[in-house]
C-alpha cells in the first residue's frame, strides 16, 4: 500500500471515529477557534485545514470548509456572526477532504470556485462523497492559471502558482488586506502531505513557492499551522529544497528506501511536528522522505 493511500486511510479512520463516536467527539468536531486579522478578515481553525472568512459589502467569502458537513454548518454560522451576512462564495484551495467536505452545508447555488484540476480531482479521486445532494456544492466556476474577483468592494486574486502539494492548488490573495491564503502549498512547521498521485511534486514545489513570493502580500495563512509571513514561506521552501536534494542523492547513489531514510540530508525540519487530529495522520519525517524517494525513483502511480 502506498504512503499516500495510508495517509488517506488514516484521515478516513479519523472521520469515521467522529461520525461513530458520541457527544464528546461531536463537540470537538464543532470546536472552532477564531483569529481576527483585520476588521474584515478572520481565520477559523479546527478539525481540518485553516478556513478564511472575508467580509464584503455583498456577503461573506469563505476559503475552505474543513472536513465534515457539520463543520461546514458551524463555519457558515460563524461567518454570519462575524460579517453580519450570509456566505455568497466559497473558494476551495484544492480537493482534499479536510478542505472541502464542509461545502455541502452551504446554500445550493452558492458560487464555489477552484482550479479546473481541483474539480477534476474531486470528480475522480473523491467521487464517492460528491454524489446526490453533495454534488450541488462542487465548484461551479473554475479557471486554469489566474482569476481576479471584485466582490463587494474587495479585490481577490486567485492564482495557480504551479504544482507542489497537488497539481491544482490555488492561492488566494486578499489584496485589500495584504494577506495570502496558501492552502496546503504551505504547512507551517508541520510535515506536509505530498500527493504525488494527484500531480504533487517535491522537486517542483520550491519553484512554485518562489512564484508565490513574487506576489504582493505581507501576512500568510498556511493550510495548517499558525499565521506567518514571508519568512515562513522561505523556511518551508528550504525544507523542500533539502527534500528534493534527498531524492537526487538517492538516484545518484542507487539508494533503496531504507538507505534514503538513513542518509537523507534533511535538517530544515527541526521543530516540525506531525499533524494530529485525535490520532496521528502519519504525516511525519518518514512519510515525506518516502514520498521524495518514490517520486525520484518513479515508485508511484499517478491516479488523475
Task: Convert the pLDDT of each residue in 108-148 to its tens digit.
Answer: 999 999 999 999 999 999 999 998 889 999 999 999 999 99
Q: How far apart are CA 182 and CA 170, in angstroms?
A: 7
Nearest Cα neighbor of 304 from 165, 205, 197, 163 is: 197
DSSP-based three-state secondary structure for 111: strand
The domains of the chain are located at 3-297
Confidence at residue 38, expressed as pLDDT on a 0 to 100 scale: 97
In the chain, the largest separation of any two C-alpha atoms, in whole Å, equals 60
| Alpha helices, DSSP H, located in the chain | 3-20, 23-30, 69-83, 97-100, 116-125, 205-213, 230-252, 257-263, 285-297
**DSSP notation for 202-246:** TTTHHHHHHHHHTS--SEEE-SBS--EEHHHHHHHHHHHHHHHHH
pLDDT exceeds 60 at position 25: no
Confidence band, pLDDT 50/70/90 cuts, at residue 1: low
What is the architecture, at CATH level 2, of domain 3-297?
4-Layer Sandwich (3.60)
Confidence at residue 259, expressed as pLDDT on a 0 to 100 scale: 98
Confidence at residue 4, expressed as pLDDT on a 0 to 100 scale: 60
Give the HSE-up count for residue 116: Cα atoms under 13 Å, Cβ half-sphere.
5
Q: How far apart are CA 196 and CA 200, in angstroms?
A: 4
| Dihedral pair phi/psi, residue 171, rounded to 5° | -115, 150
Nearest Cα neighbor of 56 from 78, 34, 81, 88 is: 88
E strands, 75-168, are: 87-91, 111-115, 141-143, 146-151, 154-159
Q: Which three cell numbers stand for residue 39?
A: 476588521
Rounded percentage of the chain residues whose pLDDT exceeds 70: 89
pLDDT exceeds 70 at position 10: no
Confidence band, pLDDT 50/70/90 cuts, at residue 298: very high
For residues 49-53, give the mean pLDDT: 98
pLDDT exceeds 80 at position 8: no
Neighbours of 33 (CB within 10 A): 8
Amino acid at each position: 500500500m502506498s504512503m499516500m493511500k495510508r495517509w488517506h486511510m488514516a484521515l478516513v479512520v479519523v472521520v469515521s471515529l467522529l461520525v461513530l463516536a458520541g457527544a464528546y467527539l461531536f463537540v470537538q468536531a464543532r470546536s472552532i477557534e477564531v483569529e481576527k486579522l483585520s476588521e474584515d478578515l478572520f481565520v477559523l481553525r479546527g478539525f481540518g485545514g485553516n478556513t478564511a472568512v472575508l467580509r464584503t459589502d455583498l456577503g461573506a467569502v469563505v476559503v475552505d470548509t474543513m472536513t465534515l458537513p457539520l463543520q461546514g454548518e458551524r463555519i457558515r454560522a460563524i461567518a454570519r456572526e462575524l460579517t453580519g451576512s450570509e456566505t455568497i462564495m466559497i473558494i476551495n484551495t484544492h480537493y482534499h477532504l479536510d478542505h472541502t467536505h464542509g461545502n455541502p452545508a452551504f446554500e445550493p447555488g452558492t458560487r464555489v470556485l477552484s482550479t479546473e484540476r481541483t474539480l477534476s480531482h474531486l470528480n475522480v479521486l473523491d467521487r464517492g462523497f460528491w454524489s446526490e445532494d453533495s454534488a450541488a456544492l462542487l465548484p461551479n466556476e473554475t479557471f486554469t492559471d489566474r482569476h481576479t474577483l471584485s466582490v463587494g468592494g474587495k479585490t481577490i486574486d486567485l492564482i495557480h502558482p504551479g504544482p507542489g502539494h497537488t497539481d491544482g492548488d490555488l492561492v488566494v490573495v486578499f489584496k485589500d488586506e495584504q494577506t495570502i491564503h496558501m492552502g496546503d502549498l504551505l504547512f507551517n512547521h508541520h510535515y506536509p502531505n505530498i500527493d504525488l498521485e494527484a500531480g504533487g511534486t517535491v522537486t517542483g514545489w520550491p519553484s512554485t513557492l518562489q512564484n508565490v513570493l513574487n506576489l504582493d502580500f505581507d501576512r500568510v495563512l498556511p493550510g495548517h499551522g499558525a499565521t506567518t509571513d514571508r519568512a515562513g514561506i522561505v523556511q518551508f521552501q528550504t525544507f523542500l529544497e533539502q527534500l528534493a536534494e534527498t531524492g537526487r542523492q538517492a538516484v545518484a547513489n542507487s539508494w533503496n528506501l531504507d538507505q534514503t531514510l538513513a542518509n537523507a540530508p534533511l535538517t530544515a525540519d527541526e521543530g516540525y511536528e506531525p499533524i494530529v487530529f485525535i490520532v496521528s495522520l502519519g504525516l511525519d519525517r518518514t512519510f515525506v522522505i518516502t514520498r521524495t524517494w518514490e517520486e525520484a525513483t518513479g515508485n508511484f502511480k499517478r491516479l488523475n
